[in-house]
Chain A
Amino acid sequence: MPEFLLTFYDVFQNTYKGFLQAGLLTIEITAIAIVIGTVLGVIFALMKISNSKVLQMIANIYITLIRGTPLIVQIMFLYFGITSIIVLDNFWAGAIALGVHNGAYIAEIFRGSIQGIDKGQREASLALGMNSSLTMRRIVFPQALRRAIPPLGNQFIITLKDSSLVYVIGVSELFGLANRVAASNFKQFETFLVVGLYYLLLVLIFSALLKWYENKLDVDK
C-alpha cells in the first residue's frame, strides 16, 4: 500500500501543472455550456407553455431529439456535421454541443417550476391590472426560479461531469489530458484516480456555491 501511495503522489506531483490548465478548460467549457443551456432553456420553456401550437411543437421536437440521443453522438454530429458549414474549433464545437444538450433538460426544469407556481398568483396579478408578460416577469418567474435552483444545480453538476465527453473531438480538458498522461507514464490507475479527485473537488466547490446561492434566495430567513 505505501508503495502505491508513493506512485500516486508521484503522478500527482508530475501532472498537477497540466491538470490545472486542463481543469481551467473544463471549467470554461462547463461555464459556456451552462450559459447557452440556460438561455435556450428559458426560451424553450416559455415556448412550451405558450398558447401557440407551432411554438409548442418546435420546443417538443427539440427536447425529444436531444433527450432521445446520447450526448457523445450530438458532439460528433456537431463537430463533423454542422462545422462543415461553419468553421468552429473543437473547443467551441464541444461547448456548444454541451450547451444545446443541456438546454433541453433545463427547459423541462423551468417548465416544471413555472407550471408549479399556484394559479392564484397569476390570477391575482392579472386582477391587479398587470398584463401577461409583466405577470410572468415580476410574479411567476422569480418564484419559479427559486424553485428551479436545486434541480438546476443538479443539472449544472451533470454538465461539469459530462464535459469529459468532449475529449472525443480532441479537446484537452481533464479527461482528455488524463488519457494522454496515462499513455505516457503507463500508470492508468493512479492517473485516473488523480483526475477523479480533480472532478470531485470541482463538483464540491460548485455544490458549495449553489448552496450559498440557495440560502441567499431563501425568503424565510
Chain B
Amino acid sequence: MKMMILLLAASVLVLAACGNEDEKTSESTGDQGYKLVNEGKFTFAASGVYKPFSFEEDGKLTGFDIEIGNALAEKMGLEANPVTNPFETILQGLVGNKFDAIIGSMAYTKERAKQADFTEPYYYSGGMIFVAKDNDEITSPEDLDGKKIGVVAQSTYEEPAKELSDDIQYYSSDVVALKDLTVKGRLDAVITADIVGYEAIDNGFEVKEVDKPMWVEQPSIAVNKENPELTKALDQALQEMIDDGTYEKISDKWFGRNLLDIDLEGVELLE
C-alpha cells in the first residue's frame, strides 16, 4: 500500500514537472519581429563532434561555430545558448522548432534550402579526400571508383561520395571516420572538410590529403522557414561583424587567417 502511495506521489511529481515544461512559451516575438524558442535567448545547434568548429573542451562547448554564434547573439542583444544535436537529425530538429538556428558548419545546398532558409555563408571550406598515410594508390577523385568511402550521413560529402563509388560507409562523426582510415581494411578514403582533416593530422592521425579540394562549399546559418525575420537579423548581424573586425578576430584566433578571404575565381561552388 505504502508503495502504491509512493508511486502515485512520484507520478504526480513527474507530471507536475512536465507541466512546468509545457508552460514554457514555445514562441516569443522579439522587438525585431522574429520568433525565439527560448525568450531572450538565441538558441543555436551544432553537432559538437566537429573539431575545430564545434567541440567539447573542459566540459564546455567551444569552437569557431560556437564563437560565431555567441558573437551574433551579442550583436542582437540576446543571451547565447549553444546546444548540441547529432548532425543526422539536426535539420529535423530545426524544422521541429527545437532551436532557433543551426550554426554547425552546415553548407548551403539547393536541396537543404527546400527545408530551411540560409543566411550568407559565414566561412568557405573545401571538400577534400583523405586517405591513410601509407596509401599510394589513391591520388585523384577518379581513383575512388569501387573503393570504400566514409562520410557523415546527411553531410554535403554524401552525394559526391556516392557519385565516386557505390561502396559508402556512414558515420555520425568525421573524427571516427578519419580514425577508421588508420585501421587496416576498414576504409579506403574519407571525404570531409579540409580544415577538419588537417585538425586530425595535427592531432597525430596517420592520414593525408589527396590532391586539392574538389570544390568549395558555403557553410551558412540555417533558420526555420517560418522565421524569415530572424534570417534577416542574422544576416545583418553577420555583416556588422565582418565590417567591424569581430569576424576576423574570431577567424584569426582559430585558423590564423580569415576564412571568408578566399579567391572564388574559377572555383566550383557546391550548391
Contacts and interface: CB of A to CB of B under 8 A. Distances in A.
Contacts of B3: 145
B176 to A, nearest CB: 7
A201 interface: no
Interface string A154-191: 00000000000001111010001101111110101000
Contact of B56 (A38, A168, A170, A180): A180
Contact of A186 (B17, B48, B179): B179
Interface in A31-69: 32, 35-36, 38-39, 42
B92 interface: yes
Contacts of A92: 17-18, 21
Contacts of A39: 7-8, 10-11
A89 B20 CA distance: 11
14 contacts: A18-B59, A32-B14, A35-B10, A36-B11, A84-B96, A87-B24, A137-B1, A138-B1, A169-B89, A170-B84, A180-B48, A181-B56, A186-B200, A188-B175
B96 A184 contact: no
B85 interface: yes
A14 interface: yes
Contacts of A84: 96
A188 B96 contact: no
B22 A86 contact: yes
Query: 3 shortest A-B CB distances, which residue pairs?
Result: A183-B49, A18-B59, A170-B85
B10 A168 contact: no
Nearest to A81: B96
B173 A170 contact: no
Nearest to B88: A168
B22 A87 contact: yes
B58 A36 contact: no
A180 B86 contact: no
A137 B96 CA distance: 44
A183 B48 contact: yes
Contact of A180 (B55, B58, B200, B204): B55
Contact of A188 (B11, B22, B179): B179
A143 to B, nearest CB: 13
B51 A183 contact: yes
Given A172-B84, A186-B204, A17 B58 contact: yes
A24 to B, nearest CB: 12
Interface of A: 14-15, 17-18, 21, 32, 35-36, 38-39, 42, 76, 79-80, 83-84, 86-90, 92, 96, 137-138, 141, 145, 167-170, 172, 176-177, 179-184, 186, 188
A143 B176 CA distance: 51
Nearest to B20: A92
A184 B84 contact: no
Interface in B219-234: none
Interface of B: 1, 3-4, 7-8, 10-11, 14, 17-18, 21-22, 24, 26, 45, 48-51, 55-59, 83-86, 89, 92-93, 96, 98, 172-176, 179, 200, 203-205
Contacts of A169: 85, 89, 93
Contacts of B49: 179-180, 182-184
Nearest to A170: B85
A160 B55 CA distance: 26
B175 A183 contact: yes
Contacts of A184: 49, 51, 55-57
Nearest to A96: B18
A50 to B, nearest CB: 17
A86 B23 CA distance: 10
B50 to A, nearest CB: 7
A151 B97 CA distance: 40
Which of B1, B24, B84, B85 lies at the interface centre, i.e. has the most chain A CB atoms within 10 A of its CB? B84
A186 B7 contact: no
Contacts of A36: 11, 14
Contacts of A170: 45, 83-86, 89, 93, 98
Contact of A176 (B57, B84, B93): B84
A42 B4 CA distance: 9
A84 B96 CA distance: 7
B41 to A, nearest CB: 13
B1 A183 contact: no
Contacts of B14: 32, 35-36
Contacts of B26: 87
A184 B14 CA distance: 35
Contacts of B24: 87, 89
